[in-house]
Amino acid sequence: MNITSTHFVLFTLLALGVYYLLPRRKQNYWLLSLSYIFCITWAWQFALILALLTGANFALAKQLHKDGQQRRRFLWLGIGLNVLALVLFRMADFFMPEALALLTGLGVATEAGGLQFLIPLGLSYYILEIISYLVDVHRGQIRATTDFVDFALYLAYFPKLIAGPIERASSFLPKLANPRFVGNDMLARSFTLIVIGLVRKLLIADILAASIFLDVFVTPARYTPPELLGWLLIYAFVLYNDFAGYTNIVRGVSGLFGIELSPNFQQPYFARNFTEFWNRWHITLSHWLRDYIYLPLARTLLRRNRGRRKLLNFAVPALTTMLISGLWHGISGHMLLWGGLHGLYQIVERIPSLWRPTVPPQRQPGWRQVMAATLIFTLVILAWVPFRMELPEAVEFWRGLLNWSSFAIRYRRLFLVVPLIIGAIGLDWIQYHYRDEVIYLRWPRLAQAFCLAVVLLLLFISTGGEGVGEPFVYQGF
């Protein structure tokens, strides 16, 4: 069930109708049931895998309260089990043909696509939630929950199941344990988030995505450098608005249940350095990587090599973290290169800090901030090349960008989408300028109503009246 479909709207309305009438405890049962139904609408195998991992990790977490060396063993057992599950399922693409051949050899009939359940819905996201939960319990930062329903709901909660946000048990479980309130403000905020999300997804990302020719990322040599640059720019806005749109929608939907989800984006393309970029892009993943990879590694290195100004002390954690981030996005060479590039960007950015203190970007003159944001944006979109395509094509794409033998732009669609990109930047700028993602709620009522009506009309047109958009890019991770 796609979350931009009318089925999902009906599903949510039905869910809310019953939810508001139930006491808190039963609300959790209801939400858990709905979450598994939602999961089954994709494939029942997804629900089975989720249930198995939930049960195993719930039992493991209880063992982490025990004293002695056993705690550590159970922690590593838990991490190992979950990482193994993630790696195995993520590598399913590689061994799918072999698995099919083996089954056929054994005389087991399989339909084309019948093994697709090997890549379960939201696995990459809830595995990180499980690992953070196990580590936090082991560190003593939280107590292992004794409530299986709450724990299962923490992992399966349907608004965040497809592609996050990656929530921490320390903040999410208390929300499930306490009564929820939905007042006028919460309702207005949630609806606004949903509308902004739909605008980002259906009016910006889907339309921009449709403008990109299918072969651009397969045979980039067919296009001139300005065209390649145009496609890359469009892709950058597609990726951002698609994922940010998804996050807005699910946060809005969750808000209707009185459960706030963490934000994932804060105008990342306005970032003035890479540290800021990663605090604005896929925030819940970035923070997860920071807390469970970067900081433990940095602390270990600091203990071994005393002195903050040693290159190794920040280079190794930054590079390792970004390589792991790349692998999380896909076990492949091009994702590794994308992660490696971002690791490298962060190292180079921080080299000056070896001999002089760095000035925070907000304290720098305005022109430098603009220059810095432009540079960061340029480097980020160049890194999207290996993020989007396999290594040989990525190299060909970069080569094409540098080969300025022709300046021709042959496709008018590259010009036609310019107003949309300006609109997308405008949307971000308003949120950035007022430091409020739902600033629209402070507008006069008439302006709010007019904007909302225009958006609804445009949504009707942009979906052909069917109300279904393209699948989200990040639900594939």
Catalytic residue among 282, 287, 329, 342: 329
Contacting other proteins within 376-435 (CB under 8 A):
413, 416-417
**Residue 214 binds other proteins, judged by CB under 8 A:** no
Residue 400 DSSP SS3: helix
Q: Cβ(122)–Cβ(90) under 8 Å?
A: no
Q: Of the ranges 56-64, 132-140, 206-214, 327-335, which one interacts with other proteins (CB under 8 A)?
A: 206-214
Distance of closest approach, residue 451 Cβ to other proteins, in angstroms? 9
Q: Is residue 433 annotated as a catalytic residue, yes or no? A: no
Q: Of the ranges 174-182, 215-223, 227-235, 327-335, which one interacts with other proteins (CB under 8 A)?
A: 174-182
Nearer to other proteins, 225 or 258 (CB): 258
The first and second tokens of residue 336, run together, are 């590794």
Binding mask 438-477 for other proteins (x = CB under 8 A): -------xx-xxx-xxx-xx--xxxxxx------------
- Looking at 10, 13, 14, 21, which residue binds other proteins (CB under 8 A)? 21
Helices (H), 279-388: 283-289, 295-304, 311-329, 333-350, 366-388
Distance of closest approach, residue 58 Cβ to other proteins, in angstroms? 26
Distance of closest approach, residue 306 Cβ to other proteins, in angstroms? 53
The first and second tokens of residue 354, run together, are 């070896």
The first and second tokens of residue 465, run together, are 């009246």
**Residue 180 binds other proteins, judged by CB under 8 A:** yes
**Residue 235 binds other proteins, judged by CB under 8 A:** no
- Looking at 6, 14, 24, 370, which residue binds other proteins (CB under 8 A)? 24
Cα gap 324→204, rounded to integer Å = 30
Ramachandran region, residue 108 (left: φ > 0; alpha: ψ -120 to 50; beta: rest) = beta
10-32: burial string, b at 16+ Cβ within 10 Å, e else: ebbeebeeebeeeeeeebbebbb
**Residue 218 binds other proteins, judged by CB under 8 A:** no
Nearer to other proteins, 29 or 94 (CB): 29
Helix or strand run (H / E) with residue 49 = helix 44-63
Nearer to other proteins, 20 or 44 (CB): 20
Distance of closest approach, residue 24 Cβ to other proteins, in angstroms? 7
Cα gap 343→334, rounded to integer Å = 14
Nearer to other proteins, 19 or 270 (CB): 19
Distance of closest approach, residue 468 Cβ to other proteins, in angstroms? 11
Distance of closest approach, residue 120 Cβ to other proteins, in angstroms? 31
Cα gap 114→117, rounded to integer Å = 7
**Residue 245 binds other proteins, judged by CB under 8 A:** no
**Residue 20 binds other proteins, judged by CB under 8 A:** yes
Ramachandran region, residue 265 (left: φ > 0; alpha: ψ -120 to 50; beta: rest) = beta
**Residue 368 binds other proteins, judged by CB under 8 A:** no
**Residue 207 binds other proteins, judged by CB under 8 A:** yes
- CA quadruple 246, 251, 256, 260: dihedral, nearest 10: 170
Q: Of the ranges 22-30, 65-73, 263-271, 273-281, which one interacts with other proteins (CB under 8 A)?
A: 22-30
**Residue 23 binds other proteins, judged by CB under 8 A:** yes
Distance of closest approach, residue 156 Cβ to other proteins, in angstroms? 20
Contacting other proteins within 38-77 (CB under 8 A):
none
Nearer to other proteins, 19 or 477 (CB): 19
- Looking at 10, 210, 408, 422, which residue binds other proteins (CB under 8 A)? 210
Cα gap 7→11, rounded to integer Å = 6
Distance of closest approach, residue 449 Cβ to other proteins, in angstroms? 4
Distance of closest approach, residue 286 Cβ to other proteins, in angstroms? 32
State the sign of the Cα–Cα–Cα–Cα dihedral 390, 393, 395, 401. negative
- Looking at 120, 159, 252, 258, which residue binds other proteins (CB under 8 A)? 258
Cα separations (Å) of 313 from 277, 337, 344, 350?
21, 21, 14, 11
Cα separations (Å) of 134 from 42, 177, 471?
28, 19, 31
**Residue 29 binds other proteins, judged by CB under 8 A:** no
Residue 201 main-chain phi, psi, to 5 deg: -75, -55
Q: Cβ(373)–Cβ(280) under 8 Å?
A: no
84-114: burial string, b at 16+ Cβ within 10 Å, e else: ebbeebbebeeeeeeeeeeeeeeeeeeeeee
Residues that bind other proteins in the complex, under the rule CB under 8 A: 19-21, 23-24, 27, 179-184, 187-188, 207, 210-211, 258, 413, 416-417, 445-446, 448-450, 452-454, 456-457, 460-465
Which residues are the active-site residues?
329
